[in-house]
Amino acid sequence: MMIAKGQFNISLTPQDDESPAGRMLIDKTYTGDLTGTGIGQMISKRTVAGTAVYYAIEEFSGQLKRKTGAFTLVHSGVMDKTSQSLTVTVLAGSGEGEFSDLSGTLDIIQENGVHSYVFNYSL
């Protein structure tokens, strides 16, 4: 496995519809070892009791340590009053260009309003 690190900026645009879950458009700009853009959609639900869930599909396009292409990230997150988990994985077979054999997981870190990532991958 190889490791890529960096930061990203994110903009979430709420979609106004009658769904019982919230839906947002994702627009990200990645910097660091992974440079490019991520666009996608997120659907989420928070209960009155404070539990929450979100799923997202994000399409990345750009460079990873001088290799160029695109791939899909699948997000799955759950939280309750005592714990939370988030898994972001590369969708198998989604790599294009120089990412045709890409697999991996992306960890998201939020500290002091800054979003960073650690991408564990293989090519």
The model's pLDDT over 54-107, given as tens digits with 9 standing for 90+, comes to 999 999 999 999 999 999 999 999 999 889 899 999 999 999 999 999 999 999
Residue 10 is predicted with a pLDDT of 95
Beta 2-14 vs 96-97: how paired, if at all? unpaired
Q: What is the DSSP string of the chain?
A: -EEEEEEEEEEEEE---S-SSEEEEEEEEEEESEEEEEEEEEEEEE-TTS-EEEEEEEEEEEEETTEEEEEEEEEEEEE-SS-EEEEEEEPTT--EETTTT-EEEEEEEEETTEEEEEEEEE-
Residue 33 is predicted with a pLDDT of 97
Q: Does domain 2-122 have CATH number 3.30.300.30?
A: no
Greater confidence (103 vs 20) lies with 103
Beta bridge partners of 120: 3, 105
For residue 32, pLDDT beyond 90 = yes
C-beta atoms surrounding 55 within 10 Å: 15
Residue 22 is predicted with a pLDDT of 86
Beta bridge partners of 109: 116
For the whole model, what pTM was predicted?
A: 0.92
